[in-house]
Amino acid sequence: MSNVVLQVEDLHTSFFTSQGEVKAVDGVSFYVREGETFGIVGESGCGKSVTGLSIMRLLQEPAGQITGGKIIMEGKDLLELNKKHMRAYRGKMISMILQDPMSSLNPVYTIGDQIGESVRLHQDLPENMVEAEVIDSLRLLRIPNPEIRTREYPFQLSGGMRQRVVGAIAMSCRPHLLIADEPTTALDATIQAQYIALFEDIQEKTNVAIIFITHDFGVVARICDRVGVMYAGKIVETATTRDIFKAPKHPYTAALIHSVPSLDKKDDRLFSIEGQPPSLLALPPGCRFCPRCTVSMDICKEQEPPEVKLSENHSVSCWRVK
Protein backbone atom coordinates (compact mmCIF):
# COMPACT_ATOMS: atom_id res chain seq x y z
CA MET A 1 0.00 0.00 0.00
CA SER A 2 1.29 3.41 -0.84
CA ASN A 3 1.72 6.22 1.69
CA VAL A 4 -1.09 8.31 3.07
CA VAL A 5 -0.50 11.86 1.81
CA LEU A 6 -3.27 13.59 3.69
CA GLN A 7 -5.31 12.57 6.69
CA VAL A 8 -8.26 14.68 7.80
CA GLU A 9 -9.51 13.87 11.31
CA ASP A 10 -12.80 15.10 12.72
CA LEU A 11 -12.66 18.43 10.90
CA HIS A 12 -15.12 21.10 12.02
CA THR A 13 -15.56 24.34 10.10
CA SER A 14 -18.15 26.94 10.99
CA PHE A 15 -19.28 30.27 9.63
CA PHE A 16 -20.33 32.77 12.24
CA THR A 17 -23.18 34.82 10.82
CA SER A 18 -25.67 37.29 12.24
CA GLN A 19 -28.20 34.47 12.39
CA GLY A 20 -25.93 32.15 14.34
CA GLU A 21 -23.23 29.55 13.79
CA VAL A 22 -23.48 27.63 10.52
CA LYS A 23 -21.68 24.31 10.93
CA ALA A 24 -20.71 23.83 7.30
CA VAL A 25 -18.35 20.95 8.03
CA ASP A 26 -19.25 18.96 11.12
CA GLY A 27 -16.83 16.17 11.93
CA VAL A 28 -15.40 15.02 8.63
CA SER A 29 -12.65 12.39 8.49
CA PHE A 30 -10.98 10.79 5.49
CA TYR A 31 -7.57 10.11 4.03
CA VAL A 32 -6.02 10.03 0.59
CA ARG A 33 -3.02 8.00 -0.56
CA GLU A 34 -0.27 8.69 -3.07
CA GLY A 35 -1.50 8.20 -6.62
CA GLU A 36 -5.08 7.80 -5.44
CA THR A 37 -8.18 9.85 -6.20
CA PHE A 38 -10.64 10.38 -3.38
CA GLY A 39 -13.99 11.81 -4.43
CA ILE A 40 -16.19 13.99 -2.24
CA VAL A 41 -19.73 13.95 -3.64
CA GLY A 42 -22.76 15.82 -2.45
CA GLU A 43 -25.36 18.41 -3.33
CA SER A 44 -24.87 22.15 -3.09
CA GLY A 45 -24.53 23.35 0.47
CA CYS A 46 -23.39 20.00 1.88
CA GLY A 47 -19.96 21.38 2.78
CA LYS A 48 -17.81 19.71 0.15
CA SER A 49 -16.19 22.91 -1.11
CA VAL A 50 -15.70 24.22 2.43
CA THR A 51 -13.84 20.98 3.22
CA GLY A 52 -11.51 21.71 0.30
CA LEU A 53 -11.01 25.33 1.31
CA SER A 54 -10.36 24.29 4.94
CA ILE A 55 -7.52 22.02 3.83
CA MET A 56 -6.05 24.91 1.86
CA ARG A 57 -6.72 27.22 4.85
CA LEU A 58 -8.36 29.66 2.47
CA LEU A 59 -11.56 30.35 4.41
CA GLN A 60 -12.92 33.86 4.46
CA GLU A 61 -11.89 34.90 7.96
CA PRO A 62 -13.11 35.92 10.48
CA ALA A 63 -16.57 34.65 9.46
CA GLY A 64 -15.31 31.22 8.47
CA GLN A 65 -13.23 29.36 11.03
CA ILE A 66 -11.90 25.87 11.56
CA THR A 67 -13.21 25.05 15.01
CA GLY A 68 -11.72 21.62 15.53
CA GLY A 69 -9.95 18.59 14.11
CA LYS A 70 -6.65 17.82 12.47
CA ILE A 71 -5.38 18.03 8.91
CA ILE A 72 -2.24 15.95 8.78
CA MET A 73 -0.02 16.10 5.76
CA GLU A 74 3.11 13.97 5.73
CA GLY A 75 3.24 13.90 9.54
CA LYS A 76 2.53 17.60 10.13
CA ASP A 77 -0.74 19.09 11.32
CA LEU A 78 -1.44 21.93 8.89
CA LEU A 79 -3.72 23.60 11.43
CA GLU A 80 -0.73 24.23 13.70
CA LEU A 81 1.24 26.08 11.03
CA ASN A 82 1.28 29.85 11.12
CA LYS A 83 0.26 31.87 8.06
CA LYS A 84 3.79 32.17 6.73
CA HIS A 85 4.52 28.47 6.94
CA MET A 86 1.17 27.59 5.48
CA ARG A 87 1.98 29.80 2.49
CA ALA A 88 5.02 27.64 1.81
CA TYR A 89 2.76 24.60 1.61
CA ARG A 90 0.03 26.19 -0.45
CA GLY A 91 0.77 25.97 -4.16
CA LYS A 92 3.87 23.88 -3.56
CA MET A 93 2.70 20.81 -1.64
CA ILE A 94 -1.05 21.29 -2.05
CA SER A 95 -2.73 23.08 -4.90
CA MET A 96 -6.27 23.62 -6.00
CA ILE A 97 -8.29 23.84 -9.20
CA LEU A 98 -11.57 25.73 -9.08
CA GLN A 99 -14.69 25.37 -11.15
CA ASP A 100 -14.75 28.43 -13.34
CA PRO A 101 -11.47 28.95 -15.23
CA MET A 102 -12.40 32.47 -16.31
CA SER A 103 -12.63 33.71 -12.75
CA SER A 104 -9.52 31.90 -11.50
CA LEU A 105 -7.28 33.43 -14.19
CA ASN A 106 -6.26 37.07 -14.23
CA PRO A 107 -7.40 38.61 -17.53
CA VAL A 108 -4.56 41.17 -17.75
CA TYR A 109 -1.57 38.84 -17.33
CA THR A 110 -0.25 36.37 -19.89
CA ILE A 111 -0.56 32.63 -19.35
CA GLY A 112 3.21 32.44 -18.88
CA ASP A 113 3.18 35.12 -16.16
CA GLN A 114 0.46 33.32 -14.24
CA ILE A 115 2.10 29.91 -14.31
CA GLY A 116 5.50 31.51 -13.63
CA GLU A 117 4.16 33.25 -10.53
CA SER A 118 4.00 30.11 -8.44
CA VAL A 119 7.25 28.78 -9.88
CA ARG A 120 9.04 32.01 -8.91
CA LEU A 121 7.45 32.00 -5.48
CA HIS A 122 8.27 28.44 -4.53
CA GLN A 123 11.40 27.53 -6.46
CA ASP A 124 14.62 29.47 -6.45
CA LEU A 125 15.30 29.43 -10.16
CA PRO A 126 17.02 31.82 -12.59
CA GLU A 127 14.63 33.55 -14.98
CA ASN A 128 15.47 31.45 -18.05
CA MET A 129 14.76 28.27 -16.09
CA VAL A 130 11.38 29.62 -15.00
CA GLU A 131 10.41 29.91 -18.63
CA ALA A 132 11.42 26.30 -19.23
CA GLU A 133 9.40 25.15 -16.21
CA VAL A 134 6.35 27.03 -17.48
CA ILE A 135 6.57 25.39 -20.88
CA ASP A 136 7.07 22.05 -19.17
CA SER A 137 3.85 22.51 -17.20
CA LEU A 138 1.95 23.47 -20.34
CA ARG A 139 3.29 20.31 -22.00
CA LEU A 140 2.20 18.19 -19.03
CA LEU A 141 -1.35 19.45 -19.58
CA ARG A 142 -0.98 18.77 -23.33
CA ILE A 143 -1.56 22.34 -24.41
CA PRO A 144 -0.56 22.61 -28.07
CA ASN A 145 2.18 25.10 -29.08
CA PRO A 146 3.26 25.93 -25.49
CA GLU A 147 5.94 28.40 -26.66
CA ILE A 148 3.24 30.54 -28.31
CA ARG A 149 0.55 29.99 -25.68
CA THR A 150 2.73 31.25 -22.86
CA ARG A 151 2.62 34.75 -24.38
CA GLU A 152 -1.17 34.74 -24.84
CA TYR A 153 -3.92 36.06 -22.56
CA PRO A 154 -6.79 34.03 -21.08
CA PHE A 155 -9.38 35.55 -23.44
CA GLN A 156 -7.53 34.12 -26.41
CA LEU A 157 -8.16 30.56 -25.23
CA SER A 158 -11.27 28.39 -25.25
CA GLY A 159 -12.93 27.26 -22.02
CA GLY A 160 -11.32 23.82 -22.16
CA MET A 161 -7.85 25.30 -22.79
CA ARG A 162 -8.28 27.80 -19.96
CA GLN A 163 -9.10 25.00 -17.56
CA ARG A 164 -5.92 23.23 -18.73
CA VAL A 165 -3.95 26.39 -17.97
CA VAL A 166 -5.45 26.39 -14.46
CA GLY A 167 -4.31 22.76 -14.23
CA ALA A 168 -0.84 23.77 -15.40
CA ILE A 169 -0.62 26.40 -12.63
CA ALA A 170 -1.74 23.84 -10.06
CA MET A 171 0.79 21.26 -11.27
CA SER A 172 3.66 23.72 -11.86
CA CYS A 173 5.44 22.94 -8.57
CA ARG A 174 4.62 19.22 -8.75
CA PRO A 175 2.44 19.18 -5.60
CA HIS A 176 1.84 16.00 -3.62
CA LEU A 177 -1.84 16.77 -3.26
CA LEU A 178 -4.24 18.34 -5.70
CA ILE A 179 -7.71 19.48 -4.64
CA ALA A 180 -9.98 19.72 -7.67
CA ASP A 181 -13.25 21.48 -6.87
CA GLU A 182 -15.73 20.76 -9.68
CA PRO A 183 -13.05 21.25 -12.34
CA THR A 184 -15.14 19.81 -15.16
CA THR A 185 -18.58 21.24 -14.33
CA ALA A 186 -18.20 24.28 -16.58
CA LEU A 187 -16.94 22.18 -19.50
CA ASP A 188 -18.84 20.52 -22.35
CA ALA A 189 -19.37 16.77 -22.35
CA THR A 190 -16.70 15.85 -24.91
CA ILE A 191 -14.20 18.35 -23.45
CA GLN A 192 -14.95 16.99 -19.97
CA ALA A 193 -14.05 13.48 -21.15
CA GLN A 194 -10.76 14.82 -22.54
CA TYR A 195 -9.95 16.62 -19.29
CA ILE A 196 -10.58 13.58 -17.13
CA ALA A 197 -8.49 11.31 -19.35
CA LEU A 198 -5.74 13.93 -19.16
CA PHE A 199 -5.81 13.92 -15.37
CA GLU A 200 -5.62 10.15 -15.17
CA ASP A 201 -2.53 10.39 -17.31
CA ILE A 202 -0.97 13.14 -15.17
CA GLN A 203 -1.64 11.14 -12.03
CA GLU A 204 0.10 8.14 -13.51
CA LYS A 205 3.13 10.28 -14.40
CA THR A 206 3.43 12.27 -11.17
CA ASN A 207 1.73 10.01 -8.59
CA VAL A 208 -0.11 13.01 -7.19
CA ALA A 209 -2.93 12.36 -4.71
CA ILE A 210 -6.18 13.98 -5.83
CA ILE A 211 -9.23 15.05 -3.84
CA PHE A 212 -11.98 15.37 -6.41
CA ILE A 213 -14.99 17.42 -5.30
CA THR A 214 -18.05 17.02 -7.50
CA HIS A 215 -21.80 16.54 -7.64
CA ASP A 216 -21.65 14.49 -10.83
CA PHE A 217 -21.75 10.73 -10.38
CA GLY A 218 -20.67 10.14 -13.98
CA VAL A 219 -17.39 11.92 -13.23
CA VAL A 220 -17.00 10.02 -9.95
CA ALA A 221 -17.39 6.67 -11.70
CA ARG A 222 -14.74 7.60 -14.20
CA ILE A 223 -11.96 9.00 -12.05
CA CYS A 224 -12.31 8.21 -8.33
CA ASP A 225 -10.85 5.22 -6.49
CA ARG A 226 -12.73 5.84 -3.27
CA VAL A 227 -15.66 8.13 -2.53
CA GLY A 228 -17.08 9.97 0.48
CA VAL A 229 -20.72 10.98 0.20
CA MET A 230 -21.50 14.19 2.10
CA TYR A 231 -24.84 15.34 3.42
CA ALA A 232 -25.45 18.47 5.52
CA GLY A 233 -21.85 18.79 6.74
CA LYS A 234 -21.08 15.13 7.39
CA ILE A 235 -19.68 12.25 5.38
CA VAL A 236 -22.47 9.66 5.61
CA GLU A 237 -20.73 6.89 3.68
CA THR A 238 -17.19 6.17 2.52
CA ALA A 239 -16.43 3.28 0.19
CA THR A 240 -14.62 2.26 -2.96
CA THR A 241 -16.23 3.63 -6.10
CA ARG A 242 -17.42 0.15 -6.99
CA ASP A 243 -19.19 -0.35 -3.65
CA ILE A 244 -20.77 3.10 -3.79
CA PHE A 245 -22.39 2.21 -7.09
CA LYS A 246 -23.00 -1.50 -6.64
CA ALA A 247 -23.62 -1.87 -2.91
CA PRO A 248 -24.49 1.48 -1.35
CA LYS A 249 -25.48 1.08 2.32
CA HIS A 250 -26.70 4.55 3.32
CA PRO A 251 -30.26 5.37 2.16
CA TYR A 252 -29.06 8.79 0.94
CA THR A 253 -26.31 7.30 -1.24
CA ALA A 254 -28.72 4.74 -2.64
CA ALA A 255 -31.38 7.38 -3.34
CA LEU A 256 -28.90 9.76 -4.93
CA ILE A 257 -27.58 7.11 -7.29
CA HIS A 258 -31.10 5.98 -8.01
CA SER A 259 -32.20 9.49 -8.98
CA VAL A 260 -29.51 9.93 -11.66
CA PRO A 261 -31.27 9.29 -14.97
CA SER A 262 -29.68 6.36 -16.74
CA LEU A 263 -28.56 6.48 -20.33
CA ASP A 264 -29.05 2.77 -20.81
CA LYS A 265 -32.72 2.48 -20.13
CA LYS A 266 -35.70 4.75 -20.26
CA ASP A 267 -37.68 4.93 -17.05
CA ASP A 268 -41.22 6.15 -17.11
CA ARG A 269 -40.71 8.10 -13.96
CA LEU A 270 -37.57 9.25 -12.25
CA PHE A 271 -37.00 8.37 -8.66
CA SER A 272 -36.68 11.57 -6.66
CA ILE A 273 -35.78 12.35 -3.06
CA GLU A 274 -38.63 14.43 -1.70
CA GLY A 275 -37.99 17.62 0.24
CA GLN A 276 -34.72 19.49 0.53
CA PRO A 277 -31.57 19.30 2.64
CA PRO A 278 -32.03 20.84 6.12
CA SER A 279 -30.87 24.34 6.95
CA LEU A 280 -27.45 24.20 8.59
CA LEU A 281 -28.70 26.72 11.15
CA ALA A 282 -31.43 24.42 12.42
CA LEU A 283 -30.30 20.83 12.06
CA PRO A 284 -32.60 18.02 13.13
CA PRO A 285 -31.44 16.42 16.43
CA GLY A 286 -31.00 12.88 15.12
CA CYS A 287 -29.81 11.71 11.73
CA ARG A 288 -29.68 14.65 9.31
CA PHE A 289 -31.20 12.71 6.48
CA CYS A 290 -34.07 11.39 8.63
CA PRO A 291 -36.75 13.91 7.46
CA ARG A 292 -36.25 12.80 3.83
CA CYS A 293 -35.47 9.15 4.49
CA THR A 294 -37.98 6.50 3.42
CA VAL A 295 -36.75 3.85 5.86
CA SER A 296 -36.29 5.97 9.00
CA MET A 297 -37.04 4.55 12.45
CA ASP A 298 -37.82 6.21 15.79
CA ILE A 299 -34.22 6.23 16.94
CA CYS A 300 -33.21 8.14 13.77
CA LYS A 301 -35.20 11.16 14.95
CA GLU A 302 -33.52 11.24 18.35
CA GLN A 303 -29.89 10.24 18.08
CA GLU A 304 -27.18 10.74 15.53
CA PRO A 305 -26.06 7.42 14.11
CA PRO A 306 -22.47 6.35 14.87
CA GLU A 307 -20.07 5.46 12.09
CA VAL A 308 -20.03 1.71 11.46
CA LYS A 309 -17.03 0.16 9.76
CA LEU A 310 -18.19 -2.64 7.47
CA SER A 311 -14.81 -3.40 5.96
CA GLU A 312 -11.46 -1.71 5.69
CA ASN A 313 -12.71 0.62 2.96
CA HIS A 314 -16.39 0.89 3.72
CA SER A 315 -17.95 2.88 6.56
CA VAL A 316 -21.50 4.11 6.98
CA SER A 317 -23.36 6.29 9.48
CA CYS A 318 -26.86 4.87 9.60
CA TRP A 319 -28.94 3.19 12.30
CA ARG A 320 -30.13 0.63 9.76
CA VAL A 321 -26.60 -0.66 9.26
CA LYS A 322 -25.23 -2.87 12.01
Partner 1 sequence: MPKASKVLLEARDLVKHYPVTRGLMQRTVGYVRAIDGVSFTIETGKTLSLVGESGAGKTTVAKAILLLERLTSGNIIFEGRDLYKLSSAEIKSDYRPNVQSVQQNPWSSMNPRMKIKDIVAEPIFVNTKIRRTEAWAQVAELLKQVGILPETMNRYPHEFSGGQRQRIAVARALALHPSMLVLDEPVSALDVSIRAQIMNLLKDLQEQYNISYLVIAHNLATVRYMSHSVAIMYLGQLVEYGDTEALFENPLHPYTRALISASQLTLPEDSEGQAKQIILTGEMPSPINPPPGCRFHTRCTEASEQCSKDIPEMRKIGTQMVKCHHYK
Per CB under 8 A, residues contacting partner 1 are 43-44, 158-161, 188-194, 197, 215, 217-218, 221-225, 241-242, 245, 255-256, 259-264, 266-267, 269-274, 276
Residue number with CB closer to partner 1 (43 or 307): 43
Nearer to partner 1, 214 or 317 (CB): 214
Nearer to partner 1, 276 or 313 (CB): 276
Handedness of CA 174, 178, 183, 184 (dihedral sign): positive
Residues 42 and 235 sit within 8 Å (Cβ to Cβ): no
Nearer to partner 1 by Cβ, of 78 and 232: the residue is: 232
Q: Dihedral, CA atoms, 180, 247, 232, 215, nearest 10 degrees?
A: 30
Q: Work out how close the CB of 263 gets to partner 1 at its nearest, in angstroms, rounded to a whole number.
A: 5
Smallest separation, CB 156 to partner 1 (Å): 12
Nearest distance from residue 158's CB to partner 1, in Å?
Answer: 5
Nearest residue (CB) to partner 1, 85 versus 258: 258
CB 2 within 8 A of CB 36: yes
Residue 262 C-beta: closest distance to partner 1, Å: 6
Close Cβ partners of 35 (under 8 Å, ≥ 6 residues apart): 2, 203, 204, 207, 208, 209
Cα(59)–Cα(76) distance, rounded to whole angstroms? Answer: 20
Nearer to partner 1 among residue 273 and residue 321 (C-beta): 273
CB proximity list for 25: less than 8 A, separation 6 or greater: 11, 12, 13, 47, 50, 51, 54, 233
Contact 14, 21 (CB under 8 A): yes
DSSP 281-316: TS--SS-TTGGG-SS--HHHHHSPPPEEEEETTEEE
Q: Is 300 helix (H, G, I), strand (E, B) or coil?
A: helix
Residue 283 one-letter amino acid: L
Q: How far is the CB of 75 from partner 1 (least distance, A)?
A: 29
Asked whether the CA dihedral 225, 192, 180, 253 is positive or negative, the reply is negative
Task: Give the shortest CB-7-to-partner 1 separation in angstroms.
Answer: 23
SS3 (DSSP) at 27:
strand
CB of 314 to partner 1, least distance (A): 16
How far is residue 60's CA from residue 76's CA, in Å, rounded to a whole number?
23
Q: Would you say 121 or 254 has its CB closer to partner 1?
A: 254
Omega prior to 62 cis, within 30 of 0: yes
Q: Please, what is the minimum distance in Å from the beta carbon of residue 129 to partner 1?
A: 31
User: Judged by CB, which is closer to partner 1: 83, or 266?
Assistant: 266
